[in-house]
Structure 1
Amino acid sequence: MPDVHFTCQLQYWRLYLLSLVLGIGGSFQYGIHVSLSASPAVHIQSFVNYTWMMRYNTPVHESTNQLIWSFIVAVLSLGCWAGVVHSGSLPVTYGRKKALLFNNMVAVIAALLMVFSRTAKSFEMILLGRFLYGYNIGLGLSVHLMYLGESSPKKLRGFLTLTSSIFIGLGKVVGQIIGIKEIMGTDEMWPYLLGVSGIPAILQFVMLLFFPKAPRYLYIDKGDTERSKKALQWLWQEDNLKMELNDMQLERERSQGEKAKTVKDVLTSSCVRWQLLTLAIPCAGVQFCGINALYFYAFDIFRESGVPEDKMHYLAIGIGATELIAIMLCVILLDRSCWQKETYGLLYDLNSWIPYVNITLIFCVICIYGLGPSGVSMVLPADLFLQAWRPSAYVVSGTINWLGMFVVGMLFGYIVDGLGQFCFLIFVAYSLGSAAFVIYFVPETKGKTMIEIMEDFNRLNYKNRTADTENTDVALETKF
């Protein structure tokens, strides 16, 4: 991790402003949509029933209504996955900036579908809008990190790429606040609540027009040295850029004649096998450590604890605020063993006071999650892969994350039915295995040169064989 004092270098204020502009796009919107998945549930289900009555002159069956609502929630993850798939091609073909500008138009279209769904008496518009929102999030998060990582100096790259997690946490808190009944969580306002993400999309679209394209993209992918230098000077407000330009020149020479790598290349090339494992296992851990399952289960614990229904959203705001604070304090990857404590805490039927302990444990787990995997896993592609491989690496990490979220969201209810109070033991097992992998197999990269890191991974990729001269994709530092 970069030293904290680097964040005080005010000469980079334009770069910090760029991180703000990028953050209000995919990251902030993702946080909003996660927090709004449950808030308007009653109003949307009522709207589905009303629409069904208008069409078929009969109320919708309860199971059908629940199925439609479940798909409205789950389709966001599928949209995210579709966006991630295109994050491997759009930023390469059109550049990071143009890809984000296009992405903002998708979010505006999604917002309009949401706002006018009630007027059109069509819950299908909500389904399509949620899918497009998901597409916007999946593409936006990946390109956000590419753009910011390729525009930042090495000493600030780790800190700035971690800001994406801060904006996700901020989006969750904002979504939880505006979703309460006193603001927009009413039967009259819910279409506008669902369409609120169009506002940050418009802001990002307008503000991005004033920023240059990613300097490393211009230099390495397009070979435009002069425009890259001007972009760096504008963002960093430095005239002496020799070290950064030399570093980009070295990377361009090593990738000379190489085309952008495909997802198949990332999955099959032996020269990045351990980089792929180092990427995949922690990224899967974001979902399979059980954090989203805990969000799904939290309201059941609140009910068992006797929290009134009209007070649960306020308690949810506290959970979101806890995660935001924890993410902002994120400096190291912490052990996630407290999932076992949460599992024991779910034995709330044994003692009447145990549910209150559960609420405390929820806040503890959210805090530890924010301190560790929430911030670290998202920035791994920027740290582990070089320019030619990085877009496809984001496709892989995004696919693991969003499909993992979809699987957990769809199956967790069945896991609870099957395992009852021991449902979190599955997540304990994955967390322990992931921690063991990181401790025993992932090379330490902090403070090492690129050559030293490359040699470390080559010893893993090629074992006893002579290290291949093919380029490997490792950056200067991971967050482990």
Structure 2
Amino acid sequence: MTSKKDSEPTLEHAHTATGIVGDGDTHHLTIPHSHSDTDRLTMLSTPTLRKRELLHVDEDIYASTHSLTWAGQQTHVMTAHIAAETDQEIDGGILAPTGRVTFQLSLAAFIAAFGSSLPHGWNTGVLNTPSQLIKDFLNTTYTERFGEVPGPQLLNFLWSASVSIYLVGGCGGAFCAGWFANKVGRKRGLLICNVFGFVAAILFATCQVAQSFEMLILARLIVGFGCGAGSGLVPMYLTEISPINVRGAMGVLHQFALTCGILLSQIIGLRQILGQEHLWPYLLALTGFPCLISSAVLPFLPESPRYLYVNEQSREKAEHALRIFRQEEDVTLDLEEMKQEVIQQQQEPEWTFKRLFKNKDLSMQLALVCVLAVAQQLSGINVVFYYSTGVFIGAGIPIDYTQYATLCTGIINVLMTGISVPLMEKSGRRKLLLSGMILMVISATGMTVTLSLKDISTWMAYFSIVSLVGFVIGFAIGLGSIPQFIGAELFKQGPRPPAMSFAGLLNWLCNVIVGISFPLMEPYTKQYSFIPFIVIVLGFGAFLWWKLPETKGKTYEEIWNYFVKEKHKHEVETLLESPVDKNRNKPKKTTKSGSLVNGATLN
């Protein structure tokens, strides 16, 4: 019989305790736990227990058993899995490395976002104000080249191609972001994105002089590719260089710079500035300016320490980069936090899309990051901006001033995204995301009601403005800010690039779908256009409330362990509900402690 002293296990990870179970006796095993007073668990064993046969020990604790040879005799190890805490909190048992926001860290974050995220936003909104001038250019160029005036359908096709080809390029860039991240690194990948911005800027600046609408369309494709790749690389770089206690705030900088880019393009595109017949090509070409500044500074900034340590297997380079970012000599905690990933990375083959999809251990993380990417585009934010002009006119704002009212909406978007930066580390990702989605549902419902009743009462138009602003605020603090970087938190170093590439591809594809489907849907749905988006946000919000954990202040290892624990808990519940195996008493192959037992590793 195994003594009580021998049966007390050492806890290496939070929520898991292992102990030897002997010959049919009952043993009291102490379960150490760094964050609770859970002390003793009574485990009942029999000689017939074998691997993966389960005992329901308590309503909050599940136990599974494994056969193995210990000290020369066959026995069994029982593993207790303590159920997840309330409100999806991840209970960490690891001393998390924290740090302050240094000048070097701030500079790296600013340059990365300024050089890639701001051009992303710029090219998203830059065609709105000078749209009629560009249509005139397409019309004139086609007429002079082919000697005939293009029909309305052909002209509309050329204009649609100029707008939507940017999204096609973005899909391609997002798909390749993971390859750039793994093969050349995060920093060098951002430099490559800048090259695409340079080339596009030259084509934008010269397309009118060359009288070539093909150059305009090609430039939009090229800049879209660069922005698509940057949309995956920037959040990855920002989260990997940041201490845990400011990781969320730094991750939001991508979306903040993106919204600033949209707003700046609308301001500088006004008729009083560059929104003029002979100046609009230079308006489009300004996308190259942040790329130029970024390319001048990025080479002097460190690469992601996590990439250097885990991917390039260089502890020395990672330590040097960490000392620059943290401005501290002792970065041992950061290095130790990465060390386990280094060991695992050495034992694993390269992560590809195929391996990502086949790995069942990552199915929930992949589902979450995909839901967030899709929800961001299918939330209806583009529909709100589409309706903004009509809402402002209905409130009595003269049509000549509606562009300024729309600018005010963009300013609110930027301000609220900026406010979400400190809120991200105070309130947490989960609470902020769900609160924003609730506000979006309420506001979209309000817009549906007020737009339907606007002919009954004039003051309904003012409620429409309030609902519109509420929707923008809800989006800015939730679905606007969080999906872009939380994918980097949910995955370890290996699967992170392909996972974020796939999520980015989905995000851009959904943008294309909304851009194509909404103009076709709007004539039939009119003021009820928000209803499908309300249903989508409600559905995705329920799923995220159910499955998304809070990642604030957690190491990548702690987040990974949370999903492992949840998966084991689900397996336990499933097997408890299944019929007992009739062959359970048949002998099974055993092995030594620490080796594989039917595919599971025992430590």
Q: Which amino acid letter does the alignment assign opposite residue 441 of structure 2?
A: S
Structure 2 equivalent of residue 301 of structure 1 = 391
1:145 to 235, 244, 251: 235
Q: How does 1:297-336 map to 2 (within 5 A)?
A: 297-305=387-395, 307-330=397-420, 331=423, 332-333=432-433, 334=435, 335=438, 336=440
**Secondary structure of 2:145's match?**
helix
Give the CA deviation at 1:424: 0.7
1:346 to 447, 451, 461: 451
Which whole-Å deviations, capped at 9, do the CAs of 1:33-76 have from their partners, x for residues lacking one? 22213111100100011011101222111222122112211111
**Secondary structure of 1:209's match?**
helix
Unaligned runs of 5+ in 2: 1-88, 90-96, 424-431, 576-597
Distance 1:7 1:123 in 2: 52
Distance 2:382 2:317 in 1: 43
More helix by share: 1
Q: 1:301 to 1:381 in 2, by over 3 A?
A: same
1:464 equivalent to 2:544? Answer no
1:432 to 538, 541, 559: 538
Q: Which amino acid letter does the alignment assign opposite residue 464 of structure 1?
A: E
Q: 1:217 to 1:8 in 2, by over 3 A?
A: closer
Q: Which amino acid letter does the alignment assign opposite residue 342 of structure 1?
A: M
Structure 1 equivalent of residue 65 of structure 2 = none
Q: 1:444 to 1:163 in 2, by over 3 A?
A: closer
Q: Which amino acid letter does the alignment assign opposite residue 212 of structure 1?
A: P
Instruction: Confirm or deny: 8 A CA contact 2:193 2:230 kept in the other structure.
Output: yes
2:191 to 61, 79, 101: 101
**Secondary structure of 1:121's match?**
coil
Q: 1:455 to 1:220 in 2, by over 3 A?
A: closer
1:377 to 471, 483, 486: 483
Give the CA deviation at 1:304: 4.7
1:19 to 84, 96, 109: 109
Q: How does 1:139-178 map to 2 (within 5 A)?
A: 139-178=229-268
1:209 equivalent to 2:299? Answer yes
Q: 1:193 to 1:51 in 2, by over 3 A?
A: same
Give the CA deviation at 1:226: 1.1
Normalised by the length of structure 2, the TM-score is: 0.73
Q: Which amino acid letter does the alignment assign opposite residue 139 of structure 2?
A: N
Q: Which amino acid letter does the alignment assign opposite residue 223 of structure 2?
A: Y
Structure 1 equivalent of residue 214 of structure 2 = 124
**Secondary structure of 1:255's match?**
helix
Distance 1:112 1:448 in 2: 44
Q: 1:365 to 1:219 in 2, by over 3 A?
A: same
Give the CA deviation at 1:355: 3.3
Instruction: Confirm or deny: 8 A CA contact 2:389 2:403 kept in the other structure.
Output: no
Instruction: Confirm or deny: 8 A CA contact 1:293 1:409 kept in the other structure.
Output: no
Give the CA deviation at 1:385: 0.3
Q: How does 1:27-426 map to 2 (within 5 A)?
A: 27-305=117-395, 307-330=397-420, 331=423, 332-333=432-433, 334=435, 335=438, 336-338=440-442, 339-347=444-452, 348-426=454-532
Distance 1:228 1:453 in 2: 22
Which whole-Å deviations, capped at 9, do the CAs of 1:70-125 have from their partners, x for residues lacking one? 22111111111110111011221111121111111110100111110001111111
Instruction: Confirm or deny: 8 A CA contact 1:263 1:395 kept in the other structure.
Output: no
Instruction: Confirm or deny: 8 A CA contact 1:270 1:461 kept in the other structure.
Output: no
Structure 1 equivalent of residue 86 of structure 2 = none
Q: 1:105 to 1:111 in 2, by over 3 A?
A: same
Which whole-Å deviations, capped at 9, do the CAs of 1:380-429 have from their partners, x for residues lacking one? 11110010011111111101111111100111112212222211100000
Q: 1:146 to 1:455 in 2, by over 3 A?
A: closer
Which whole-Å deviations, capped at 9, do the CAs of 1:309-359 have from their partners, x for residues lacking one? 432221121011100111112231222322211222322344444334323
Give the CA deviation at 1:370: 0.6
**Secondary structure of 1:337's match?**
helix
Q: Which amino acid letter does the alignment assign opposite residue 406 of structure 1?
A: V
Q: Which amino acid letter does the alignment assign opposite residue 302 of structure 2?
A: P
Give the CA deviation at 1:137: 0.8
Distance 2:556 2:504 in 1: 25
State the identity as a percent.
28
Unaligned runs of 5+ in 1: 471-480
Q: 1:94 to 1:444 in 2, by over 3 A?
A: closer
Q: CA RMSD in A?
A: 2.3
Q: 1:126 to 1:351 in 2, by over 3 A?
A: farther
**Secondary structure of 1:363's match?**
helix
- Greater CA deviation, 223-232 or 444-453? 444-453
More strand by share: 2
Instruction: Confirm or deny: 8 A CA contact 1:259 1:388 kept in the other structure.
Output: no
Distance 1:420 1:386 in 2: 44
Give the CA deviation at 1:297: 2.9
Distance 2:389 2:518 in 1: 14
**Secondary structure of 2:241's match?**
coil
Q: 1:232 to 1:407 in 2, by over 3 A?
A: same
Q: 1:132 to 1:451 in 2, by over 3 A?
A: closer
Q: 1:206 to 1:50 in 2, by over 3 A?
A: same
Distance 2:338 2:246 in 1: 16
Give the CA deviation at 1:449: 6.3
Distance 1:89 1:355 in 2: 49
Normalised by the length of structure 1, the TM-score is: 0.91
Structure 2 equivalent of residue 473 of structure 1 = none
Q: Which has the larger radius of gyration?
A: 2
**Secondary structure of 2:522's match?**
helix
Structure 2 equivalent of residue 477 of structure 1 = none
Give the CA deviation at 1:264: 2.4
Q: Which amino acid letter does the alignment assign opposite residue 367 of structure 1?
A: I
Give the CA deviation at 1:136: 1.2
